[in-house]
Structure 1
Amino acid sequence: MLSHHQLVTRRLLLAVAGLGLLSMSGCEFPAVDGGDGAAPSAAPGTPTPPSAPASPATSTGPAPTPLPPQPRSLSNPLFSLAADDRLVALTLDDGPDPVHTPLVLDILHKYGIRATFFLIGENAARQPALVREIARQGHHIANHTWTHPDLRSVTETQIRDELRRTSDLLGEATGRTPTWFRAPGGDWSDVSLQVCADLGMRPMGWSVDPQDWSRPGTSLITTRVLAAIGPGSIVLNHDGGGDRSQTIAALETYLPVLLDEGYRFTAPQ
């Protein structure tokens, strides 16, 4: 078995070799400042599940007034997989994008990797054929709201509309209602978690964030993923929301490195 020092050295050599090939083919891009994403905030505290209603006592009198529907129990976002081997999940946010998403699909097909795409409803509405193609290739499609708002600053009614419209659209396009939801920017709130549960979804976060949304350069995206990944990691990348050429070049570089090291990819159900 390779020592930690040998493993790190091997990763760097493979990554540099991959980046050299990408630079020769024009896939490397200079780092730029800024971006159109946001770093995730800390997850909220664990909500207290509501108590189950007591069963009404038997009576010969009038039937008791039915209790109102109880909200589903909340769950905290999933930030990593329960895995003791090299099983990881790749997730992509903010698509579908007519330029970048097909390129990501080509890379995933090339390496036989199944991923989870967190789609924005208004983007999916403009690209229904691309939504169907993502599903046709066996990837998991999930809910990332309709307009990508900060869910901490909108009403419960707005949150419910954002999530319900997106789930309805994706369900109609693919024949399968989304089972996972991710808050834009990772900005969860108790209300958004409750609505997520009410609509039959579970919240998913991430444990590896190379901040590719800020376009820091292909080399830095690659280095951050390889340095942070481990058994059970959920990796965050973006296929929409701006120029994702650096992300695409990084995927082409680090995915074969991880596969060579024995990592396997899954899309949580």
Structure 2
Amino acid sequence: MGGLLAVVFLMLAGTVQAGCGKPVYLTLDTGNMRHAELIAQILHRHGVRATFFLANERTFRGDFALDPAWADYWRARVAEGHAFGSHTWRHWYFRRDVEGGRIAYVSSGGVEKELLDREGVCRELMKVDEAFRAMTGRGLDSLWRAPGGRTTPRALEYARACGFKRHVGWSPAGFLGDELPSDRYPNQALLEKALRDVRPGDILMLHLGIWSRQEPFAPMLDPLIEALKARGFCFKTLN
């Protein structure tokens, strides 16, 4: 993953706008969407544009993040000028390349397994684009993020062939920790770590909702953005 991140950083180097000497890139994965509205409000209040990575994950409402019921939410984010990439349709994990040009694709916990060929990989990525386009009239950017950041050489190759030319992970300091247990990683400690470690060019990663954490980290996005801006950082999208 480190090599992939280095490639992403090099590509970003030519896209930084004049006057922004300390850019950071906030990325948001769908998750269970519980804090989607709160995060949208925080971004709007601070004038921050982020890059959303979308998967058709089950939400706290019992539906799925790319159901038509979420169309108003996604249309509003498009109007605000955010960027959007695919996080795969089912949010399974690319385990390894296997013989016959296929890839082992495994659900969370390894309960279900499939072998994907190139067409199967394209379908996992493009179904997100199709659903998003139907709701918003806008297709995804040529970005994608594998669940867990786990890729294989063949998955990257097939994704490029489908038009998703850049896989985006996150920086070590950009892992904000919203999926870690809150009893061992309280919000204040995570915030202080991010403010201590984040550097210009880092890619930050947060979820719109997470099942596993008791104390949600999402409200801490507000002081995080405020403090980073006060230190001269600016927020850019990855498109």
Range class of TM-score, shorter chain: 0.7 to 0.9
The aligned residue for residue 12 of structure 1 is none
State whether structure 2 residue 75 is matched by structure 1 residue 132: yes
Q: Provide the rounded CA distance (Å) in 2 between the counterparts of 1:139 and 1:96.
A: 20
Partner of 1:209: 175
Unaligned runs of 5+ in 1: 1-41, 47-74
Q: Is the 8 A contact 2:9 2:201 kept in 1?
A: no
Q: Which residue matches 1:120?
A: 55
Per-residue displacement from partner, 1:73-99 (whole Å, max 9, x unpaired)? xx98625742682111101112471x3
- The share of aligned pairs that are identical, in percent, is 29
- Residue of structure 2 in register with 1:150 after alignment: 93
Work out whether 1:105 is the aligned partner of 2:40: yes
Give the deviation of 1:114 after TM superposition.
0.5
Indicate the residue corresponding to 1:63 in structure 2: none
Structure 2: how far apart are the matches of 1:197 and 1:261?
A: 37
Q: Equivalents in 2 of 1:268, 1:141: separation in Å?
A: 9
TM-score, normalising length: structure 1: 0.66
Shift of 1:196: 1.6
Q: Which has the larger radius of gyration?
A: 1
Contact 1:91 1:237 in 2 (8 A): yes
Structure 1 residues 36-86: Cα deviation after superposition (integer angstroms, max 9, x where no partner): xxxxxx45x78xxxxxxxxxxxxxxxxxxxxxxxxxxxx986257426821
Judge conservation of contact 1:78–1:206 (CA < 8 Å) in 2.
no
Specify the SS of the correspondent of 2:27: strand
SS for the counterpart of 2:216 is helix
Deviation at 1:222, TM superposition (A): 0.7
Larger mean CA deviation between 144-153 and 125-134 belongs to: 125-134
Partner of 2:112: none
CA distance in 2 between counterparts of 1:181 and 1:189 reads 13
Instruction: State the alpha-carbon separation in 2 of the partners of residues 238 and 90 from structure 1.
Output: 11
Paired letter, 1:168 = E
Query: How do residues 56-71 of structure 1 correspond to structure 2 at under 5 angstroms?
Result: none
Q: Secondary structure at the match of 2:169?
A: coil
Partner of 2:108: none
Q: Is the 8 A contact 1:116 1:139 kept in 2?
A: yes
- Taking the aligned partners of 1:194 and 1:205, their CA distance within structure 2 comes to 16
Q: Would you say the 8 A contact 1:113–1:265 is kept in 2?
A: yes
- The residue number in structure 1 matching 2:61 is none
- Name the counterpart of 1:27: none
Deviation of 1:212 after TM superposition, in Å, equals 1.5
1:1-40 to 2 correspondences below 5 Å: none
Residue in 2 that maps onto 1:261: 231
- Structure 2 residue runs of 5 or longer lacking an equivalent are 57-63, 96-103, 106-115
TM value normalised by structure 2: 0.74
Q: Do the aligned residues in 2 keep the contact of 1:87 with 1:231 (CA within 8 Å)? A: yes
Map of 2:30 onto structure 1: 94
